[in-house]
Amino acid sequence: MAEEERHVSKTYDLVVLGGGIGGYTAAIRASQLGKSVAIVERDKLGGTCLHRGCIPSKALLRSAEVYATMKRADEFGVMASGELAFDFAKAQSRKAAIVEQLHKGVQFLMKKHKIDVVRGSGRIIGPSIFSPRSGAVAVELEDGETETLVPNQLVIATGSRPRVIPGLEPDGRRILTSDDALELERLPASMIIVGGGVIGVEWATMLHEFGVAVTIVEAAPRLVPGEDDDVSRELERLFRKRGIRVMTGAKLDVETVAADETGVRMAVDTAGGREELAAETMLVSVGRVANVDGIGLENTDVRVENGAVKVNGFLQTTEPHIYAVGDVNGGLQLAHAAAHEAIVAVEHACGLQRTPFEAQLVPRCVYTRPEIASVGFTERQATERGLNIKTSKFSFKPLGKALVSGDNDGFVKVVADAESGDLLGVHIIGPHATDLIAEAALAKLLDATPWEVGNAIHPHPTLSEALGEAMMAIDGLSING
């Protein structure tokens, strides 16, 4: 009895473990449906996306874009007086201000929707005096006290963290994670980026624009291996053209890595033999791992497979009253995917009829220069599934708006079913690709055919014309291609 008296216990309709975009979206949707809700967060609301991912990296990428544009301002008739210079400290300050503004916005949303934010480390507990089933959350508060939250349903949204390769443990100075890189106080003269996936190529773009000598070491045969082959080839071509060194099919010998006051050195094995590399710093960008440790999953029947929480199409775990959304479930590691999963999970938990989450409807964006965006199957994926396909491409090069903007590299690629005409996938590499993909995502949602999208009137002159032309080109009807 004394043990019970030392605890403070509160009941809720829904408790969310983790306050990232998946977590706070789940909380808001539950509140909109009239449920009592609490979020447990040990750090800051907003999670990785807001504080260590999407937003701060895109703020710096925008600074890099402006700087790169200013370097060629004379092409547009703009003659800047004096020598062009870049102030990295100011770019970092701007990044921090944007993050703080958005952080305040999330905090306001919690108050607006009357969501209790419990600050501390949460751990799921099994059946106890508080609940006959697992799913209650014991929270160690910032003041050292313990509070137990007892929900009808629990949403796990604990996110992920950068993957660490044994032997390449980050030291925050010479060997960095993406988290470390966001907090750099000065730019290094050179950097080796281990990993040519989304995070790696975004950092390569940014650092190169800032004047850092960049080398990408990627074990796979191509950059961004999750994207369409044609897109990967085009990105690699443009990176090489700009002076970014790209080493694909390259295996880093971890045992040769040495870091000291002068920099970092290593050996890399390629098809052409072994090569010694050296740089001031190294960024290890080899993916992320789900945060499943230390949250009490061992006290439940929730199944963990391949390092992530196993869920069904409604984001339910193997305990039906417990859901898992975002990076922790091992699916698409995208902020907007986590938010959509959260809505599906909460609406299902509240008994609303809803279709399962469909990964094929989620657009994917890479903020390189040029940008990359895609939705649906790549040509390779469609072929591997035995589908009879047809493809088309339309280049940005003849497009009036692309020429006017001074950026006409890249293309739009469409993958369709040759028999039914169904749209299977859209892949864009080029200016504002991450904005243009929204139309393709809507087309996928509405099950539109390329002919229907192509016959929608695309205004001139706009970059969206490339999408319309590519859709018509699937049947050989492109006007300008």
Mean pLDDT of 351-359: 90
* pLDDT surpassing 50 at residue 4: no
Model pLDDT for residues 372-412, shown as the tens digit of each residue: 999 999 999 999 999 999 999 999 999 999 999 999 999 99
Last residue of a domain, one of 329, 360, 391: 360
Residues 340, 193 within the same domain:
no
Number of domains in the chain: 3
Residues 147, 194 within the same domain:
no
* pLDDT surpassing 80 at residue 353: no
pLDDT of residue 7: 59
Residues 34, 134 within the same domain:
yes
- Active-site residue flag, 208: no
First-to-last C-alpha distance (Å) of the chain: 79
Residues 123, 24 within the same domain:
yes
The 3-class secondary structure across 299-318, one letter per residue, is: HCCCCEECCEECCCCCCECC
Residues 383, 469 within the same domain:
yes
Res. 320 pLDDT band, cuts 50 70 90: very high
Residues 254, 183 within the same domain:
yes
Would you say residue 67 lies in a domain? Answer: no
**CATH code of the domain containing 419:** 3.30.390.30
Angstrom distance (rounded) from CA 300 to CA 134: 6
Buried b / exposed e over 104-114, threshold 16 CB at 10 Å, is eebeebbeeee
Model pLDDT for residues 28-39, shown as the tens digit of each residue: 999 999 999 999
pLDDT of residue 143: 85
Whether omega before 356 lies within 30 degrees of 0, making that bond cis, reads no
Give, as one character, the DSSP assignment of residue 367: -
**CATH code of the domain containing 208:** 3.50.50.60
Buried b / exposed e over 387-404, threshold 16 CB at 10 Å, is bebbbbbbbbeebebbee
E-state strands within 67-189: 116-125, 136-141, 146-156, 160-162, 175-176
Last residue of a domain, one of 231, 255, 286: 286
Last residue of a domain, one of 263, 286, 309: 286
Residues 157, 12 within the same domain:
yes
Would you say residue 243 lies in a domain? Answer: yes
Specify which residues 41 forms β-bridges with: 119
Residues 116, 34 within the same domain:
yes
Would you say residue 478 lies in a domain? Answer: no
Entry pTM:
0.94
Would you say residue 86 lies in a domain? Answer: no
Left (φ > 0), alpha (ψ -120 to 50) or beta: where does 204 sit? alpha
Residues 354, 412 within the same domain:
no
Would you say residue 70 lies in a domain? Answer: no
Residues 156, 268 within the same domain:
no
Would you say residue 257 lies in a domain? Answer: yes
Res. 425 pLDDT band, cuts 50 70 90: very high
Angstrom distance (rounded) from CA 19 to CA 45: 5
Angstrom distance (rounded) from CA 64 to CA 208: 9
Instruction: Report whether 323 contacts 316 (CB < 8 A).
Output: yes
Specify which residues 116 forms β-bridges with: 38
Res. 167 pLDDT band, cuts 50 70 90: confident
Q: Which two tokens stand for residue 332?
A: 């698409």
Q: Which two tokens stand for residue 330?
A: 């091992």
Residues 350, 457 within the same domain:
no
Residues 279, 294 within the same domain:
no
Range of the domain at 132: 2-54+92-161+289-360
pLDDT of residue 3: 43
Catalytic residue among 7, 321, 336, 460: 460
* pLDDT surpassing 60 at residue 65: yes
Between residues 128 and 341, the one the model is more confident about: 341
Would you say residue 132 lies in a domain? Answer: yes
Angstrom distance (rounded) from CA 61 to CA 234: 20
pLDDT of residue 80: 78
The pairing of strands 116-125 and 37-41 is parallel
Mean pLDDT of 282-295: 96
Would you say residue 322 lies in a domain? Answer: yes
